[in-house]
């Protein structure tokens, strides 16, 4: 049974041209999928349609074969709790401590009052501590988030997603604001989460080489349409040209080769 | 042939034109303003002449005559109390309504309505609010508190709503994506992120309300040290006593301002 | 456990903050003898009264020309005091700002004087100045002038230090003279901010002028006071409407100018 099925999904902002144009694909449980494409292609829009952060224009998103098209507020919250999301700019509440930010991942499971007052059970706090330990952040648990480095902040973002006990992680350019070594730590962490916990991961990337190294499957998008959906080793220069347009594709390929020789 | 072309060093553009026009208009209006002054046969130069001796009487020889020092301090604290109460009440009202006036938290039509109403509330000077309430509540502390609360709420709703609008939309998005609802987002992300901004605005409003409380004592029967000043000026005609009151008020205002400056500096670190 | 301590401590300190605030409020209510019950009952009473009595009628409209004349006086006084006080404050601020001061002692002196001027409320200034200028426009003018001057010295010192420190250093390095530096660097870089603050003070002064007018018997405040005391509430409400319209209009014009010059 596929975990996620995107069926003829289209999205249009106002009366602009379609940001997503009849997207169709299926993701099985445990997959690690990378979505690549030039900026403005519609990668972020696609992720946000999956967890209904933005309403889709037509089509459907099915989780375990169940349609998510018409949900009431309660169902929508339940839907979102199953899906963790990780952001380019981490999107933490900077003035709160690391552990409080992690526990925010539990809000979807809570009554309004408990969430408002910040009442978390001991089991939840215990889980937060464990996740932070696993991500190597136990020393920073009570620090305010604005005292952390970018790589540390992103790990807090990952912890916040993990404590949701998600089936699926959506990552929107998680390493675009990080230096190479921090980026590697984050990508290794995601890989580890995928393999050890069996959590399905969809990650938007703009670095083709990173996508090729980590993903099992690469989906290329251009102008709101899927232009390729293949395993990394079957990605040819032609396909990359098609995803990025010829000139940018050239640059990316040159860059990739230099890396290969180095 | 550079010689006969003029090179423009400071080119004209819309911004400079508007800037210069504004400055010219201000100067012209100011010049015209003096012709509209109601002099009531008061001799300007005699007044200026008197200013020096009046200031020295005020600042160099302050003493109390009609009330005791204890009463003066008590009245100063009544004024402070009025400023404090109206700030707290105004802040409580504003906190609720500002959430409905912030564009990132409430539907657009609602924000427009609330912002429009608060703009109206703010446009009416505080003293007039107090006098309006005084018709049904009588001149005194009740009318003063209601009127000042009203104006404070109008001011703080705008300030708070703008602080809410300034917070990073990403954090709201992140909590929404994890399934949090509106109330949870407000209490877990919006309020913690804007807490220091809210505190600064509230403190600033307290400074304003302290001043306003003096004025309401003088102009709207709210009591406190403002009323003492009004009596010293209009009834006893005693500059020396006025001096004592001025020092009392100045001392507290300077302490407040220093506190606010320290608080802001500690935030910047 | 450490985690528990963290949350307990946080909750305790917030609880303490709330308790202290409520306690202070309670003490203040007792001390100022504020009648809470009367406060609450007065609001519906005031609304009922306002809807039945507080609106302009046909007879009050005849007073409009004389009200507008008083409004003109008030606006003129506000503009004149704001403009002249700001011009004076700019000179003093140049000698007071760290970037441009010629002498530390003068700087300290300028800041001290400004602190005194702005921290005596405008109503107190009016009462003091009544001794010198009686019930004339000069009293209100000087009251507004002093407060504006004190306020502007402070914000202009901050502006100069913020906006022109770098360019002053650059011009000093070219060997420019003191007055050349002021004219070519400080004035142009601060002028938009200066104008923006003058507009802000005009808005503030119109509100203050209403109050001062009640105390000194001039301008629109005097109009309101007369109608109010003679129980002519229809005319008094017309005064308020006129004030509201002019304040909102001036606010709109200032915002427009601000957007254009800043
Ligand atoms: N909130 C929005 N309103 C209008 N248009 C938008 C909005 N967000 C994205 N778009 C448009 O949709 C297209 C896809 O954007 P996006 O999904 O952000 O691309 P990517 O993440 O691949 O860079 C772009 O043309 C962008 O301009
Ligand atoms: Mg994007």
Q: Which CATH architecture has domain C63-261?
A: Orthogonal Bundle (1.10)
Interface contact flag, C132 B29, Cβ < 8 Å = no
Which whole-number Å values give the CA distances from B143 to A135, A200, B128, B235, C34, in the listed order?
59, 64, 11, 24, 10
- pLDDT over threshold 90, residue B6: no
pLDDT in tens, A94-117: 889 999 999 999 999 989 999 888
Interface contact flag, B175 A164, Cβ < 8 Å = no
**pLDDT recorded at residue B10:** 66
- The owner of tokens 């980026």 is A183
Residue nearest to atom 14 of ligand 1 (CA): A42
| Neighbour count for residue C49 (Cβ, 10 Å) | 16
pLDDT band at A262, cuts 50/70/90? very low
CATH code linked to domain B70-268? 1.10.3720.10
Interface contact flag, A116 B183, Cβ < 8 Å = yes
Distance from CA of C3 to the nearest CA of A (A): 7
Residue B212 · residue B31 · CB < 8 Å = no
**pLDDT recorded at residue B152:** 97
- pLDDT over threshold 80, residue B157: yes
Which residues of chain C lie closer than 8 angstroms to B82, CB-CB? 32
Question: Is the minimum distance from the CB of A39 to ligand 1 under 6 angstroms?
Answer: yes
**pLDDT recorded at residue B122:** 93
Question: Closest by alpha carbon to B261, among B215, B204, B213, B220?
Answer: B204
**pLDDT recorded at residue A45:** 95
**pLDDT recorded at residue B91:** 97
- Residue A189 touches chain B, beta carbons under 8 Å: no
Which whole-number Å values give the CA distances from C41 to A75, B133, B136, B143, C48, in the listed order?
44, 11, 10, 12, 11
How does the average pLDDT of chain A come out, rounded? Answer: 90
What residues of chain C score a pLDDT lower than 70?
1-4
Distance from CA of B61 to the nearest CA of C (A): 14
pLDDT band at B24, cuts 50/70/90? very high
**pLDDT recorded at residue C174:** 77
Distance from CA of B120 to the nearest CA of C (A): 7
Report DSSP letters for C87-130, one per residue. HHHHHHHHHHSTTT-S-HHHHHHHHHHHHHHHHS-HHHHHHHHH
**pLDDT recorded at residue A261:** 46
CA distance C75 to C72: 5
| Cα-to-chain-centroid distance, residue A220 | 15
Q: What is the mean pLDDT of residues A197-221?
A: 93
- pLDDT over threshold 80, residue B203: yes
Any idea of the CA torsion for C31, C35, C37, C41, to the nearest 10 degrees? -150
**Which atom of ligand 1 has the smallest separation from the CA of A11?**
12
Residue nearest to atom 18 of ligand 1 (CA): A44
- Residue A11 touches chain B, beta carbons under 8 Å: no
CA distance A94 to C214: 49
Which residues of chain A lie closer than 8 angstroms to B179, CB-CB? 77-81, 107-109, 164
**pLDDT recorded at residue B131:** 92
- For chain C, which chains pass the contact test of at least 3 CB pairs under 8 Å? A, B
The region of weakest confidence among B96-100, B129-133, B257-261 is B257-261
The residue ranges of every structural domain in chain B are 70-268
Q: What is the mean pLDDT of residues A147-151?
A: 93
Question: Is the minimum distance from the CB of A23 to ligand 1 under 6 angstroms?
Answer: no
- pLDDT over threshold 90, residue A218: yes
**pLDDT recorded at residue C153:** 94
**pLDDT recorded at residue B269:** 62
Residues in chain B: 269
Strand A18-28 vs strand A168-172: parallel, antiparallel, or unpaired? unpaired
Sign for the pseudo-dihedral over CA of A223, A224, A230, A233 = positive
Two structure tokens written together for C114: 């400004």
Interface contact flag, C260 B14, Cβ < 8 Å = yes
CA distance C156 to C193: 8
Report DSSP letters for B147-189, one per residue. HHHHHHHHHHHHHHHHHHHHS-HHHHHHHHHTT--HHHHIIII
Which residues of chain B lie closer than 8 angstroms to C116, CB-CB? 250
How does the average pLDDT of chain B come out, rounded? Answer: 90
For chain A, percent of residues with pLDDT exceeding 70: 94
Of all helices (H) and strands (E), which one includes residue C199?
Answer: helix C187-216
């Amino acid at each position: 049974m596929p975990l996620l099925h995107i069926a003829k999904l289209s999205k249009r902002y106002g009366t602009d041209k379609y940001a997503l144009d009849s997207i169709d694909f299926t993701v099985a449980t445990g997959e690690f999928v990378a979505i690549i494409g030039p900026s403005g292609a519609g990668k972020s829009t696609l992720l946000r349609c999956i967890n209904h952060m933005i309403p889709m224009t037509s089509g459907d998103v099915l989780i375990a074969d169940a349609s998510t098209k018409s949900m009431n507020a309660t169902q929508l919250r339940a839907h979102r709790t199953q899906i963790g999301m990780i952001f380019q700019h981490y999107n933490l509440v900077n003035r709160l401590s690391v552990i409080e930010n992690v526990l925010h991942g539990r809000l979807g499971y809570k009554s309004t009052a408990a969430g408002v007052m910040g009442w978390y059970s001991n089991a939840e706090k215990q889980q937060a501590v464990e996740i932070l330990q696993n991500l190597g952040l136990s020393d920073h648990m009570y620090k305010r988030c604005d005292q952390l480095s970018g790589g540390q902040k992103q790990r807090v973002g990952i912890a916040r997603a993990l404590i949701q006990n998600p089936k699926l992680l959506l990552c929107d350019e998680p390493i675009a604001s990080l230096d190479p070594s921090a980026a590697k730590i984050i990508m290794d962490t995601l890989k580890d989460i995928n393999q050890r916990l069996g959590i399905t991961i969809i990650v938007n990337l703009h670095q083709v080489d990173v996508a090729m190294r980590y993903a099992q499957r690469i989906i290329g998008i251009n102008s709101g349409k899927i232009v390729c959906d293949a395993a990394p080793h079957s990605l040819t220069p032609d396909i990359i040209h098609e995803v990025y347009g010829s000139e940018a594709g050239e640059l990316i390929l040159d860059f990739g080769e230099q890396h290969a020789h180095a | 042939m550079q010689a006969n072309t003029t090179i423009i060093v400071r080119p004209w553009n819309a911004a400079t034109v508007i800037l210069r026009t504004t400055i010219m208009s201000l100067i012209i209006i100011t010049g015209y303003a003096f012709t509209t002054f109601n002099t009531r046969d008061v001799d300007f130069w005699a007044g200026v002449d008197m200013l020096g001796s009046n200031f020295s009487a005020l600042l160099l020889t302050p003493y109390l005559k009609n009330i005791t020092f204890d009463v003066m301090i008590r009245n100063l604290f009544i004024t402070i109390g009025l400023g404090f109460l109206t700030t707290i009440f105004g802040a409580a009202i504003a906190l609720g309504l500002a959430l409905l006036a912030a564009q990132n938290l409430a539907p657009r039509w609602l924000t427009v309505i609330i912002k429009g109403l608060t703009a109206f509330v703010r446009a009416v000077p505080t003293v007039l609010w107090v006098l309006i309430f005084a018709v049904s509540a009588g001149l005194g502390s009740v009318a003063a508190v209601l009127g000042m609360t009203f104006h404070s709420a109008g001011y703080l709703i705008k300030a708070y709503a703008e602080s809410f609008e300034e917070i990073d939309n990403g954090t709201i998005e992140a909590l929404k994506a994890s399934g949090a609802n509106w109330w949870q987002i407000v209490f877990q992300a919006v309020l913690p992120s804007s807490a220091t901004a809210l505190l600064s605005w509230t403190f600033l409003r307290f400074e304003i309300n302290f001043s306003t409380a003096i004025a309401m004592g003088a102009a709207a029967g709210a009591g406190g040290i403002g009323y003492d000043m009004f009596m010293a000026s209009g009834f006893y005609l005693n500059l020396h006593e006025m001096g004592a009151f001025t020092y009392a008020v100045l001392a507290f205002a300077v302490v407040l301002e220093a506190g606010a400056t320290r608080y802001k500096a500690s935030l910047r670190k | 456990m450490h985690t528990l301590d963290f949350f307990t401590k946080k909750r305790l300190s917030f609880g303490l903050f709330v308790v202290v605030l409520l306690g202070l409020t309670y003490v203040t209510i007792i001390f100022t003898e504020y009648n809470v019950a009367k406060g609450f009952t007065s609001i519906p009473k005031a609304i009922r009264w306002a809807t039945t009595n507080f609106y302009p009628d046909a007879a009050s409209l005849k007073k409009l020309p004389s009200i507008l004349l008083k409004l003109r006086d008030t606006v003129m006084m506000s503009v004149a005091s704001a403009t002249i006080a700001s011009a004076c404050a700019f000179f003093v601020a140049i000698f007071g700002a760290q970037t441009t001061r010629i002498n530390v002692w003068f700087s300290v002196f300028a800041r001290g004087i400004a602190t005194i001027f702005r921290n005596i409320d405008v109503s107190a200034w009016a009462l003091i100045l009544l001794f010198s200028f009686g019930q004339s426009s000069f009293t209100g003018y000087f009251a507004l002038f002093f407060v504006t001057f004190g306020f502007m010295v402070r914000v202009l010192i901050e502006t100069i230090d913020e906006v022109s420190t770098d360019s002053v250093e650059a011009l000093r390095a070219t060997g420019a003279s003191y007055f050349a530096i002021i004219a070519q660097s400080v004035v142009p870089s601060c002028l938009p901010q200066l104008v923006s603050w003058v507009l802000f003070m005009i808005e503030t002064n119109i509100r203050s002028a209403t109050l001062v007018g009640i105390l000194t018997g001039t301008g629109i405040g005097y109009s309101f006071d007369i109608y109010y005391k003679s129980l002519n509430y229809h005319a008094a409400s017309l005064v308020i409407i006129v004030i509201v319209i002019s304040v909102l209009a001036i606010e709109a014009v200032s915002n427009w100018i601000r957007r254009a010059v800043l």
